Structure 1
Amino acid sequence: MHDLTYRLVVRLARVLFRVLGLRLDVRHAERVPSTGPVVLAADHQSFLDFLVVGLPSVQRGRLTRFMAKESVFRVPVVGAAMRRMGHVPVDRRSGAAAAVRAYRALLRGEVVGVYPEATIGHAFAVKDRADLRLGAAHLAIATGAPIVPVAHWGLHRVLTVGPHGSLRRGRWVGVVAGEPLVPRPGEDAAALTDRLHAALTDLVEELLDRYPDTPSEPTQEWWWPAHRGGAAPGADEARLLDLRAIAVADGLDADNVVAQAKSFTSHVTGE
């Protein structure tokens, strides 16, 4: 593994943090095991969040091999760097190859980073349990590796989906690692993902509770979650926006995908 490239990127990231004046608050890095395989499962709110959710591992002297969408690996220079750092390309239409690579990395004792939400969420809160993928749990069960949930909040104010973001200096970004989730005897991927969802949700709520720049008028702020009175999309609206973003990325008819989702929801709920 070409860790020299990875460590250079870590240094460049720290320079970027200083340029942006980020007020980083990283807590409980000690919950990341110092040795052995680890599945690091994080929430997904920003194009830049891999730069911060890996910080607890870095503080433990470890580097995280992230599972990232395959299109990133086709970008000149960036793709080559991603490969040299040992990150894992994921083709959403066929994830078997990525799963095998992640499995082998865990068997080598690596930290593998997974985004159970799959895509950046528009609600700036953890997605509903039904929207979480089971990949992190499957990897943990197959290898015996613990899942360490890592939540972050605040970086979406710098860069995220939609016409939002700002390079204004001084944003607060909180990162917190949760207690490791060890697969229980006989536990299946769905049950382990239930526990992971609960852990990530609690961690994000913890970050929101101690967010130092709470808006005085939440209803006017696009970046503050709807369930806390903010102007961010609520869960149902955010789910449709997420589906549209995925359809566009996959080259599908986004309007048709969203229309089908709305029709299905109406059929199920009777509305």
Structure 2
Amino acid sequence: MSAGRHGRHEPVYRALELIANGLVRAQRLDLHVTGLENIPDTGGAVLCVNHTGYVDFLPLALGVQRAGRRTRFLIKSEVMDIGIMRFLVNHTRTVPVDRSRGAEAYRAALGRLREGYIVAVYPEATISRSFELKEFKSGAVRMAAEAGVPIIPAIVWGAHRQWTKGGARNMGRSRLPVHVRYGLPFTPGPDESPERETLRLRETMNSMLLEVQDSYGPHPPGEFWVPSRLGGAAPTPQEAAVIEADEALRKAEARAKRAADRARSRGSRR
């Protein structure tokens, strides 16, 4: 594939684009995309986006498609256990991430960037239950600096109304408005620390988030998808942190139990 504007010689990706656009039409989403001029015509870039729900990747990628480019995502490696997902990952230059082998995924993402692809990264790593920006990991800044490519900050707002943690799923003909904004690219300074540049990225994206929310329309008080700051029922960032810590503990306990069960199973077969 060309590192610049995409053609039609990626048949699997092209099929996914047709399906995704058909899904948006079927749902009758009111998709607003701004800032397409900030997506470079050619070359690699790290596309950093906030994470509020399970399907926010879809409007993000469709916006990039409108600019004539394609997005390569970093996704959890667990999907490789599913045959169809393994096929899709292998045929769309997606980067599976195994958190126990993070260096491997980092090198793979660097490879995609150097080949001229746009790689999408969630700096928050996990969905924000408060729908405010969480603290950012520095990996996105580090890979952009090492690959010598720009970072494009992006905000998606409204997709969490379709499907998110703690909310009712609404994937039908919802007619929901979803806004996507791509901000001005910047290249991490070689003399700046990754932590400082990560803070710069977060501040930029937080300003963008506030602007997108202002242009979005009414945020009805008490709604699950509206941040507490705007009068909604979403937990505050502090409350969300407690929920997420408890969730992480339960997941760790479940992983430990599965590992112990596998060890017992292997022992019983000897």
Please give the TM-score of this superposition, normalised by the length of structure 1.
0.86
Please give the TM-score of this superposition, normalised by the length of structure 2.
0.86
Tell me, yes or no, if structure 1 residue 205 matches structure 2 residue 210.
Answer: yes
Q: Deviations over 1:59-85 (max 9, x none)?
A: 221111111111123233123212211
Post-superposition offset of 1:113: 0.8
Q: Deviations over 1:118-138 (max 9, x none)?
A: 0111011211xxx21111000
Structure 1 residue corresponding to 2:161, chosen from 154, 157, 160 = 157
- What's the counterpart of residue 237 of structure 1? 239
Aligned residues: 248
- What's the counterpart of residue 265 of structure 1? none
Range that drifts further, 226-235 or 159-168: 159-168
Superposition pairs of residues 40-189 of structure 1, within 5 angstroms: 40-127=47-134, 131-168=135-172, 169-189=174-194
Cα separation, 2, equivalents of 1:247 and 1:3: 41
SS at 2:99's partner residue?
Answer: coil
Range that drifts further, 69-78 or 21-30: 69-78
Q: Deviations over 1:88-135 (max 9, x none)?
A: 0111222110000001111111111111110111011211xxx21111
C-alpha distance 244-7 of structure 1, shift in aligned 2 (>3 A): farther
Post-superposition offset of 1:246: 4.0
Q: Percent identity?
A: 35
Please provide the CA RMSD for this pair. 1.9
Aligned amino acid, residue 158 of structure 2: G
- Structure 2 residue ranges without an equivalent (≥5): 2-8, 257-270
SS at 2:100's partner residue?
Answer: coil
Structure 2 residue corresponding to 1:227, chosen from 213, 225, 229 = 229
CA contact (8 A) 2:144 2:151 kept: yes
CA contact (8 A) 2:219 2:230 kept: no
SS at 1:89's partner residue?
Answer: strand
Aligned amino acid, residue 244 of structure 2: D
- Structure 1 residue ranges without an equivalent (≥5): 255-271
SS at 1:78's partner residue?
Answer: helix
Range that drifts further, 197-206 or 54-63: 54-63
SS at 1:96's partner residue?
Answer: helix
